[in-house]
Chains A and B, each alone.
Chain A
Amino acid sequence: MLSWNGRRGGLRIERKHMHRERAGGGLQSLLQYKDALWLAIWLAGLAALGVWDVLFLNRPALTRLAAASVNTALVASGVVVCSSLMGWVSALALHFFDHGRHRWAYLLTTFLLSLIRSVPQIVGILLGYVVLTLLIRGEVLRQQASQLVVMSLIISVFVFLEVTDLIRERIRHYRKLDFFDAMLCSGVREGRIINLEILWKNSRAHLLHKAIHIFGATVFLLCSVDFIISVGLSTDVSLSNFPPTLGGLLATMDSKQDILAISTVSTDPLALPDLFFEHLQGISTAFTIVFTLLCMYRISSHFVARRRLE
């Protein structure tokens, strides 16, 4: 950022830099790595919440909350892995179909991807859950682990296009430069140029950023779908058979009552302590969701700023 000239401009710079100097070396280095700082804040926040819940939340609720948190994290991580793989395969397929002049394969793949793109993510996942219910009812999926894997796959189907787009955009960017052609002319294989030279050496930060984003987006989508199903669908498409997640836990009557209690604090501030002792299940669940979304966003945006990925 350019910031020279002008008396006021100069004073501004001085004030900003004086602040930094006073804040000391430790704080300065933390300020330089704000993404790492927010990662630490996220982990510390969840750890603090865990300790509080161990002390004050009843045992069954604590077990439910722990299971829901772990399952949510597992599904989100699963989606990161699956969508990365699906995105990579589809982007490479599109690239080679396009440049290998397999026109029909290219058009067909593009059409299929557009079809997925045309369905809003939340609606697509909801319909995917219908399939998941059928699989559970048909006893095809009996174990919780396999159910979590299928949940990850379903969400990945509606999320992986973000990875596809990113990889294609990176390849396109480097194709515009002489970089790509220069390597081709030197006899370097195209697969190596894309996978090693472009994606590994030049796009790791972009892909990591996308992974953080997908983790956050999955937490949001998963919780939203589970919440919707719990409050909206009470019969066949029911969460009762699904692995518990934070969204499902939030939709239980107890949790909803706990969240409702927040509004009473605005008229009765003395009721504030009750939130932390009597309404702990719902508050903890909501806090975990919102705090995770906030921290993921912060990690992601500071990562972008630090690595200058704009």
Chain B
Amino acid sequence: MSGTHSIRIATADRTLVAVDDFDIAPNTITILLGESGIGKTLIAKALYGLLDPDDLTVMIDGMPYVHYLQRPETQALQAESFFVFQEPSTHLNPMMTLQEQLNEGSLASTEQHEEILRRLWSASVERDASSLLPVYPKPHRPSGGEKQRMLLAMAFKKMDLVLTGKRFTHPLFVFDEPSGSLDNRYRDIFLEMLFERFRKLPFTVLLITHDYSMIGTIHERFPDVLPGIAFKELASSRDGLRLRDFEPKEYLHWLSGLRPAAAAVGEPVLTVESESDVHRRTLTITRDQKTPCPLTLGRGALVYLKAPSGVGKTTLVKAVMGLVRAQRLRCSLNGLVLTERTPLRVWRRHIWGKKMTLVFQHADEALNLESNVRSVFAGLPSVEGASPAAVGDILRGLFDAEDISALLTKKVKHLSGGQKQRLNLLRGLSLNTDVLILDEPLNGLDFESAGRVIAKLQQQQQAGKAILLVSHNEEIFDRLVPTEQVYYLHARESANLSSQKDLED
């Protein structure tokens, strides 16, 4: 499977991926970067032989896919490899326990996975993996991170089986966004376990990610494996996709150049009281990780609310936006007091799109994929009629001017993940609101696009807009937000509260 490949993937009406120089070096860890939705996963699945020839027209090295699938090399690869898919929630069978799923197929030949599980759960203070094994995977239990770790455990199990057997030919281990649902501490454990095995016996790994912060971590914590790692970036060009060598220093240099905007912070626009109760949990805001204090967002300020995944950052901002019913909430927006008893119509009439807006983290879900780009801006209070000229002006904020006329009529579903995210941000930025709340605004962006987004945000900041950021990408935002504007969020179970679900029921 290693070597250079030309890959074409198309549906009946359009080409999804066309790349001529896709290269996976043997016995190397290839870290494949690039904005989300550009086609990284599709290429990896095509090479692994996971695409359906009934659905897609696939050609690999000029070979029809059905012939590629029948090659002994492809079949050997499938027998001794593993693929960790990027959405852990949908990649575990909800009708079988985790134990059953960890011990079936080629993984059934050994049940020695205790050590793998112990390592993957070593940062957990709440529970160990053994208590999860008899559990059926459901949307909220185990958590996304636990499901991700369970899939990683399967990969490590297969890795140990194959590599200790010594009778392998071309094993390939694909990790597609393995850190997507993991905190940095778990991500580092995963990298540590992978590199340990790689140091003993190099093998071929394809690690797909758009998490550029992984680069810094590897340079800092695992410099000895750098010679065995190839950084590549998949980028779109006029002739299709292009795979280029990625120079990590490029990113590290860019990162070191990030500075907070020189904007004066004006009078407070939004204040959120230090404690709120949502979904049977008490969410507490602090400045020093100890003492509760209200979050104050002044005009022209960029405030950063930090917390590990799953604490409830998104839940809190949704409650502030009136989208989730809180059991206890008190905030003030330009003198308008909002509490848990404020009727929804107040948000509808006075707040949404007028005084405050929220940009959601998953552009794929937040945008109407069946709309064209122009109509994303139709119906907004501040973009009258969504004329091509008006929308074009907005798009120029984050897109190249020469692409705009073609972009206007393009369906959102045909955009890359990074383009969708930029569009999602532009919808929020185009509104004349005093407050802009951004949930993981750099999700799915390559670092070049991330730079444009940051510049745009700083421009808005200087124009007096109050921006509240919610993100776990500390590497970038710690450099952009002064420490006095950083808040922390903590959660604890609240004993005497009914959950939202209970209330709705």
Residues of A within 8 A of B (CB): 1-7, 9-11, 13-14, 16-17, 32, 99, 101, 177-179, 181-190, 192, 196-197, 201-202
Contact = CB atoms under 8 A, between A and B. Distances in A.
A1 B70 contact: no
Question: Which residue, A99, A179, A189, A202, has most C-beta atoms of chain B within 10 A?
Answer: A179
Main secondary structure of the interface of A (DSSP, over half): helix
B55 A1 contact: yes
A10 to B, nearest CB: 4
Contacts of B69: 4-5, 9-10, 13
B381 A5 contact: no
B323 A4 contact: no
Contacts of A188: 353, 379-380
- Of the four ranges (under 10, 10 to 19, 20 to 34, 35 or more), the interface on chain B belongs to 35 or more
19 contacts: A1-B54, A3-B53, A5-B78, A7-B75, A13-B69, A14-B70, A16-B54, A32-B12, A179-B367, A182-B358, A182-B359, A182-B424, A184-B323, A185-B321, A185-B323, A185-B358, A187-B381, A188-B353, A202-B368
B365 interface: yes
Given A3-B52, A32-B12, A183-B368, 20 more contacts: A3-B53, A10-B69, A10-B75, A11-B70, A13-B70, A101-B344, A177-B365, A178-B360, A178-B361, A178-B365, A179-B368, A181-B323, A182-B360, A182-B365, A186-B357, A187-B357, A188-B379, A188-B380, A189-B379, A192-B379
A188 B54 CA distance: 40
Interface in B345-371: 348, 352-354, 357-362, 365-368, 370-371
Contact of B66 (A13, A185, A189): A13
A58 to B, nearest CB: 50
Q: Tell me if B's interface is mostly helix, strand, loop or mixed.
A: loop
A26 B113 CA distance: 54
A10 B75 CA distance: 10
Given A3-B53, A32-B12, A197-B371, A10 B379 contact: no
Nearest to A184: B352
A10 B50 contact: no
A1 B56 CA distance: 10
Nearest to A200: B370
Interface in B226-274: none
Interface of B: 12, 49-50, 52-55, 64, 66, 69-70, 74-75, 78, 318, 321, 323, 344, 348, 352-354, 357-362, 365-368, 370-371, 379-382, 424, 427-428, 431
A186 B380 contact: yes
Contacts of B431: 186-187
B53 A10 contact: no
B130 to A, nearest CB: 32
A14 B368 contact: no
